[in-house]
């Protein structure tokens, strides 16, 4: 009751000082910033991993180089069906798609771009989450065997739409007595997709496997198998069974491809949490200033209360409640603002993008096409625990000083 009266008192009555309001606003903004940053970092990580797992293979099985009957080096898998069956028999393996890969020059009218061609069957293309059925795309994937599928950024750069024909030029095409000569074929674009990862949307072209084999001089062979599993987080447990299923194969997992980037994200997440925690600490320290001024203004009240019989513990609790309530209210307001920011990040970012004139988020630099945010319980809980812990801790210093004040001295100089 006494603490509540002190908090409601006006400045002229020796109540809460302007420093308390500053600390309240500071804690609110610090907690808001901490939750917003952690939500964006969590969303970025999830979206980045999602684009990897939703487009590329969880495990890629390459073939080793070997010699044929003419002592020439060859590389590839000649028997695709038996290998695919052995891989699919491994518990947890969902798909095992044979692939042909090559790099070509993609040309439409007078515009050319480099394209990464993936030769794949229509059934396996449809099973790719962010490319096949149900993906953000337009065109008719059922006509894939009649043409090619292309990433949306590549299509935009070329000025291509569904129904147009593009020329694909393979520099290592037809074999002639004079050596290798480029091979150029025209294909209709029947399907355009948006995977959400800029590097994929900018370069990826899918070609029917039956067409890719002669186009890349791989008749009767495939370059690799793209394997997906039910639980990508447990990908390391599939290494031994896959090596036993394909003894002459080499494995490359999604963690091998993105492991260094994910580790860098983890380090950055930890550093951002530490930096934002310092901001919360600075805001919490303002509570000391406001509470010291409150204790000074209420010196006579402390003396009277002590002579009436209140113990040091009671005085400590009075001023602890005054200071802790600032941290509690500031934390609550910060949590509300941070959660609202994460929930409505798309319209907020659209407004910022409009005010800044566009191009605030460059997908070619940041790998993904938009700014994501994901609220996680433990992120919010850690922000709340940190803010309340620091607020309660710094409150103890002036509250303990008030509790140990000599009532005689307090009344003498009142």
Q: What's the rounded Cα separation, in Å, for the pair 260 and 106?
A: 31
At 325-352, the pLDDT tens digits run 888 888 999 999 999 998 888 888 778 7
- Of 122-126, 290-294, 304-308, which one has max mean pLDDT? 122-126
At 42-63, the pLDDT tens digits run 888 887 788 778 888 899 998 8
Section 232-253 average pLDDT? 88
Q: Which helix (H) or strand (E) holds 398?
A: helix 377-403
Coil vs helix vs strand at 128: coil
What is the per-residue pLDDT for 67?
58
* pLDDT: which is higher, 412 or 91: 91
- The single residue listed with the structure tokens 């490359």 is 252
At 361-385, the pLDDT tens digits run 666 555 566 677 888 898 899 999 9
Query: Nearest Cα to 90, choosing from 279, 191, 241?
Result: 241
Section 260-270 average pLDDT? 81
In percent, the amount of the chain with pLDDT more than 70 equals: 80
274 pLDDT higher than 80: yes
**Cα distances (Å, whole numbers) of residue 301 to 4, 72, 313, 400:** 14, 98, 15, 16
Q: Which of the four pLDDT bands, split at 50, 70 and 90, describes residue 182?
A: confident
At 58-87, the pLDDT tens digits run 999 988 776 556 656 667 888 788 999 999
- Of 113-127, 231-245, 277-291, which one has max mean pLDDT? 113-127
173 pLDDT higher than 80: no
Q: Which of the four pLDDT bands, split at 50, 70 and 90, describes residue 14?
A: very low
In percent, the amount of the chain with pLDDT more than 90 equals: 33
Instruction: Please tell me the pTM assigned to this model.
Output: 0.73
- The single residue listed with the structure tokens 């394909």 is 246
The H helix count followed by the E strand count for the chain is 15, 12
- Of 109-118, 292-301, 386-395, which one has max mean pLDDT? 109-118
């Amino acid at each position: 009751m006494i603490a509540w009266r002190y908090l409601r008192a006006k400045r002229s009555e020796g109540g809460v000082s302007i420093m308390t309001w500053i600390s309240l606003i500071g804690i609110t903004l610090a907690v808001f910033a901490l939750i917003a940053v952690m939500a964006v970092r969590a969303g970025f990580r999830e979206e980045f991993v999602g684009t990897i797992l939703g487009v590329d293979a969880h495990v890629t099985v390459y073939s080793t180089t070997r010699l044929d009957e003419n002592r020439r080096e060859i590389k590839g898998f000649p028997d695709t069906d038996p290998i695919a069956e052995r891989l699919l028999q491994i518990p947890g393996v969902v798909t095992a798609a044979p692939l042909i890969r090559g790099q070509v020059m993609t040309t439409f009218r007078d515009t050319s771009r480099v394209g990464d061609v993936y030769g794949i069957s229509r059934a396996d293309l449809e099973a790719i989450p962010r490319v096949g059925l149900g993906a953000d795309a337009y065109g008719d994937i059922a006509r894939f065997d009649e043409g090619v599928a292309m990433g949306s950024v590549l299509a935009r750069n070329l000025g291509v739409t569904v129904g147009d024909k593009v020329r694909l030029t393979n520099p290592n095409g037809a074999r002639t007595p004079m050596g290798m000569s480029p091979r150029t074929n025209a294909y209709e674009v029947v399907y355009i997709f948006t995977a959400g990862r800029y590097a994929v949307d900018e370069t990826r072209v899918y070609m029917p496997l039956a067409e890719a084999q002669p186009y890349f001089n791989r008749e009767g062979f495939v370059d690799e198998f793209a394997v997906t599993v039910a639980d990508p987080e447990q990908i390391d447990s599939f290494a031994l069974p896959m090596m036993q299923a394909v003894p002459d194969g080499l494995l490359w997992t999604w963690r091998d491809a993105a492991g260094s980037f994910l580790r860098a994200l983890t380090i950055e997440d930890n550093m951002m949490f530490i930096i934002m925690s310092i901001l919360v600490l600075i805001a919490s320290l303002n509570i000391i200033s406001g509470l010291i001024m409150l204790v000074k203004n209420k010196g006579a009240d402390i003396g009277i209360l002590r002579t009436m019989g209140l113990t040091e513990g009671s005085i400590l609790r009075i001023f602890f409640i005054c200071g802790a309530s600032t941290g509690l209210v500031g934390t609550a307001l910060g949590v509300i603002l941070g959660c609202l920011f994460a929930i409505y990040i798309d319209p907020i970012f659209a407004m910022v993008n409009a005010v800044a004139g566009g191009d605030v988020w460059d997908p070619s630099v940041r790998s993904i096409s938009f700014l994501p945010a994901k609220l996680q319980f433990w992120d919010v809980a850690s922000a709340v625990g940190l803010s309340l812990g620091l607020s309660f801790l710094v409150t103890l210093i002036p509250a303990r000083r008030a509790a140990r004040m000599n009532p005689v001295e307090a009344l003498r100089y009142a």
